[in-house]
């Protein structure tokens, strides 16, 4: 700490802000945090590692005054109005050249608006996705910054030092212009939603097959040692062991089935439709969280319709094998859809998102980290302009190796009445994607029939209209 001035400041000392700031301090930087709640400032200082320089203050102006120039500041506050409020409070306190990073889950259009607005003041505003939750923030998150590349150079040493590392490579990189950082994080969360939905469907099938929580733990644990190795599979294995501290039950069995959401999955779906790019597994995951909230209707429907159509017609051993394959297949499809969306958005929204860097940054620290990302990394390094990873031959080989298990699971779920919308959506997307001629020629005929919307032919160039039904 030189001149008694701090290297880095944080606004918002909640779950993410506190942990990320402590992580920065652990890497030799002097840090100062601001939260109007004095208890949070005290908690920050109390949690600091011995020998590090960490201070919490309840006054924003006081914090800004104690930062080295050009100032390097991050905010980790709830998305939306709080971010605009923080910016408004900061503006009179900052100078040209200062760097302000919004590390929360802001919508990328808000970020774009803020970048443009702050450009006039000479303040470098960057939107950055942070992933890894509480633990990741404390020990090594994955970070997805976008915006002004020159401003990134000022904060790069700090971010690289605190990021998760895979093979010594930090899981942070400059990911494109404007709102690119938050766009990449939004799609990351869309993929997160999709994989979580698929894991929950795997759980439903295995549970219907009679696996106990102990067996579910063992199954997910062994999956995490193979092709399916990932953070989400790893924590799922742990979850099945957790006992409730209020009853004798396993905690998972007493948790309400209404799933929450803060919006990023929905934004991914909404934006995919704007582009447009098809991301049906993500759409399905969003829809299933929504449906989970309609508890009263589901309870009524369960009384009207027989929930248990039939038992599963396979042994537990066969079931575990085929669900494993289906989960692997559909997980690949979830990444494929999200990455295809990034490919298109990068061009259409002029963000120049480098996909090889995106998958590299996702390899460690983040919620969707998995061994599969190594394969995708290789695919994008071979061809950075790959529009869909399903077109890469290594990925195709993996997909083909588990395709039959995927088909068996969809049949089994349909037969037995186990809801598996994510799996079904993944397989249907795949079957459409690998189809040279979809049946959408009929839709074109219908559109032209009722609305004179015209159509193109397969044999003659041009646009055509027919007076239908006259021959
Ligand atoms: N939790 C997670 O796993 C992850 C969260 N994120 C994102 O990071 C951001 C922060 O999340 P998280 O740390 O979990 O949230 P918390 O609610 O734990 O913390 C938010 C902090 O922001 C402060 N704050 C709220 N409004 C303002 C304001 N107007 N001015 C100044 N400070 C304010 C709060 O202060 P106080 O309450 O004292 O007023 C609080 O300390 C969100 O955008 C979230 O979506 C991203 C990745 C993972
Ligand atoms: O960004 C995150 C992880 O990457 C946050 O944990 C986020 O809150 C998850 O989304 P949701 O609350 O909608 O499930």
Residue 312: per-residue pLDDT: 87
The stretch 3-26 carries a mean pLDDT of 96
All residues at 6 or more sequence positions from 287 whose CB lies less than 8 Å from its CB, including other chains: 421
Question: For residue 313, with 0-12 CB atoms within 10 Å meaning exposed, 13-18 middle and 19 or more buried, which class applies?
Answer: exposed
The stretch 402-408 carries a mean pLDDT of 98
Residue 363: per-residue pLDDT: 97
pLDDT tens readout for residues 259-282? 999 999 999 999 999 999 999 999
pLDDT at 308 over 80: no
* CA distances for 259 relative to 245, 255, 285, 471, angstroms: 21, 10, 11, 55
Q: For residues 316 and 420, give the distance between their C-alpha atoms in angstroms, rounded to a whole number.
A: 18
Is 112 within the bounds of a domain? yes
Q: How many CB atoms lie within 10 A of CB 20?
A: 28
| Residues 370 and 250 both lie in one domain | yes
| Residues 101 and 240 both lie in one domain | no
pLDDT tens readout for residues 225-256? 999 999 999 999 999 999 999 999 999 999 99
The ligand whose atoms approach the alpha carbon of 76 most closely is: 1
All residues at 6 or more sequence positions from 380 whose CB lies less than 8 Å from its CB, including other chains: 355, 356, 359, 386, 389
Q: For residues 156 and 151, give the distance between their C-alpha atoms in angstroms, rounded to a whole number.
A: 9
Is 453 within the bounds of a domain? no
Residue 470: per-residue pLDDT: 87
Domain that holds residue 270: 185-433
| Residues 152 and 210 both lie in one domain | no
Query: What is the pLDDT confidence band of residue 352, given thresholds at 50, 70 and 90?
Result: very high
The ligand whose atoms approach the alpha carbon of 18 most closely is: 1
Tokens 């443009």, located at residue: 116
| Residues 169 and 233 both lie in one domain | no
User: Which is the closest atom of ligand 1 to the Cα of 40?
Assistant: 38
The stretch 346-361 carries a mean pLDDT of 97
pLDDT tens readout for residues 45-82? 999 999 999 999 999 999 999 999 999 999 999 999 99
The ligand whose atoms approach the alpha carbon of 20 most closely is: 1
How much of the chain exceeds pLDDT 90, in percent? 96
Q: Give the phi and the psi of residue 359 in degrees, each rounded to 5.
A: -70, -30
Measuring from atom 29 of ligand 1, which residue has the nearest CA? 82
CATH of the domain at 270: 1.10.1040.10
Question: For residue 68, with 0-12 CB atoms within 10 Å meaning exposed, 13-18 middle and 19 or more buried, which class applies?
Answer: middle
Q: Give the phi and the psi of residue 266 in degrees, each rounded to 5.
A: -60, -40
Q: For residues 176 and 146, give the distance between their C-alpha atoms in angstroms, rounded to a whole number.
A: 5
Q: For residues 357 and 172, give the distance between their C-alpha atoms in angstroms, rounded to a whole number.
A: 9
Please name the helix (run of DSSP H) or strand (run of DSSP E) that holds residue 99, with its range, or none: strand 99-102
Ligand 2 pocket: which of 131, 191, 264, 269 to mutate (most atoms within 8 A of CB): 264
Is 454 within the bounds of a domain? no
Q: How far is the CA of 369 from the centre of ligand 2 (A)?
A: 14
| Residues 361 and 319 both lie in one domain | yes
The stretch 11-28 carries a mean pLDDT of 98
Q: How far is the CA of 131 from the centre of ligand 2 (A)?
A: 9
Is 346 within the bounds of a domain? yes
Quote the number of domains for the chain. Answer: 2
Is 222 within the bounds of a domain? yes
Residue 266: per-residue pLDDT: 98
CA 184 from centre of chain: 8
Please name the helix (run of DSSP H) or strand (run of DSSP E) that holds residue 322, with its range, or none: helix 316-348
Q: For residues 403 and 328, give the distance between their C-alpha atoms in angstroms, rounded to a whole number.
A: 9
Question: What does the mean pLDDT of the chain come to?
Answer: 97
Residue 311: per-residue pLDDT: 83
Q: How far is the CA of 274 from the centre of ligand 1 (A)?
A: 29
pLDDT at 331 over 70: yes
| Residues 258 and 389 both lie in one domain | yes
Query: What is the pLDDT confidence band of residue 145, given thresholds at 50, 70 and 90?
Result: very high
125, 155, 174 — which closes off a domain?
Answer: 174
Measuring from atom 2 of ligand 2, which residue has the nearest CA? 131
Residue 2: per-residue pLDDT: 66
| Residues 15 and 97 both lie in one domain | yes
| Residues 170 and 295 both lie in one domain | no
- Say which residue, 410 or 307, is predicted with more confidence: 410
| Residues 109 and 152 both lie in one domain | yes
User: Which ipTM was obtained for this model?
Assistant: 0.98
Is 179 within the bounds of a domain? no
Which residues participate in the annotated binding site for substrate?
105, 131-133, 188-189, 193, 262, 289, 447, 453
Ligand 2 binding pocket includes 264 (Cβ within 6 Å): yes
* Residues near ligand 1 (Cβ within 6 A): 11-17, 35-37, 40, 76-79, 82, 85-86, 104-105, 130-131, 133, 262
Is 440 within the bounds of a domain? no
CATH of the domain at 153: 3.40.50.720
The stretch 163-187 carries a mean pLDDT of 97
127, 144, 174 — which closes off a domain?
Answer: 174
| Residues 151 and 190 both lie in one domain | no
Q: How many CB atoms lie within 10 A of CB 218?
A: 16
* CA distances for 402 relative to 141, 234, 396, 406, angstroms: 31, 21, 10, 6
148, 174, 200 — which closes off a domain?
Answer: 174
User: Which is the closest atom of ligand 1 to the Cα of 83?
Assistant: 29
| Residues 234 and 289 both lie in one domain | yes
| Residues 42 and 189 both lie in one domain | no
Task: For the chain, state the CA radius of gyration.
Answer: 25
Is 125 within the bounds of a domain? yes
Q: For residues 413 and 205, give the distance between their C-alpha atoms in angstroms, rounded to a whole number.
A: 7
């Amino acid at each position: 700490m030189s001149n008694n001035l701090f290297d880095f400041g944080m606004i918002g000392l909640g779950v993410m802000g506190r942990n990320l700031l402590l992580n920065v301090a652990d890497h030799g930087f002097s840090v100062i945090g601001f939260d109007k709640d004095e208890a949070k400032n005290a908690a920050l200082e109390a949690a600091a590692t011995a020998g590090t320089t960490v201070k919490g203050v309840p006054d924003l102006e006081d914090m800004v005054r104690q930062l080295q120039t050009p100032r390097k500041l991050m905010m980790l506050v709830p998305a939306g109005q709080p971010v605009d409020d923080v910016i408004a409070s900061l503006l009179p306190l900052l100078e040209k050249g200062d760097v302000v990073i919004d590390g929360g889950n802001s919508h990328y259009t808000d970020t774009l608006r803020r970048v443009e607005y702050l450009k006039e003041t000479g303040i470098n505003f960057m939107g950055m996705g942070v992933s890894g939750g509480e633990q990741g923030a404390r020990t090594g998150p994955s970070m997805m910054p976008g915006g002004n590349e020159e401003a990134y150079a000022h904060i790069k040493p700090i971010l690289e030092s605190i990021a998760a590392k895979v093979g010594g490579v930090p899981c942070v990189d400059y990911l494109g212009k404007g709102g690119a950082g938050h766009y990449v994080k939004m799609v990351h969360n869309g993929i997160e939603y999709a994989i979580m939905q698929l894991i929950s469907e795997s759980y439903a099938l295995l549970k219907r097959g009679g696996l106990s929580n102990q067996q579910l733990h063992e199954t997910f644990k062994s999956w995490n040692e193979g092709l399916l190795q990932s953070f989400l599979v790893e924590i799922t294995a742990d979850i099945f062991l957790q006992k409730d501290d209020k009853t004798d039950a396993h905690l998972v069995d007493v948790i309400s089935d209404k799933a929450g959401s803060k919006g990023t999955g929905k934004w991914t779906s909404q934006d995919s439709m704007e582009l447009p790019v098809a991301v049906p597994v993500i759409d399905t995951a969003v829809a299933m969280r929504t449906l989970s909230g309609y508890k009263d209707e589901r309870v009524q429907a369960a009384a009207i319709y027989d929930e248990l159509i039939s038992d599963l017609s396979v042994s537990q051993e066969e079931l575990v094998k085929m669900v494993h394959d289906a989960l692997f297949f559909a997980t690949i499809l979830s990444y494929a859809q999200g990455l295809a969306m990034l490919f298109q958005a990068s061009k259409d929204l002029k963000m120049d998102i480098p996909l090889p860097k995106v998958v590299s940054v996702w390899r460690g620290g983040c919620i969707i980290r998995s061994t599969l990302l190594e394969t995708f990394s290789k695919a994008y390094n071979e061809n950075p302009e790959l529009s869909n990873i399903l077109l890469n031959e290594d990925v195709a080989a993996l997909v083909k190796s588990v395709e039959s298990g995927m088909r068996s699971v969809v049949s089994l779920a349909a037969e037995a009445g186990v809801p598996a919308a994510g799996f079904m959506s993944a397989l249907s997307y795949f079957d459409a994607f690998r189809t040279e001629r979809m049946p959408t020629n009929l839709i074109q005929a219908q559109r032209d029939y009722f609305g004179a919307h015209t159509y193109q032919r397969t044999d003659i160039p041009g646009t055509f209209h027919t007076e239908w039904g006259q021959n």
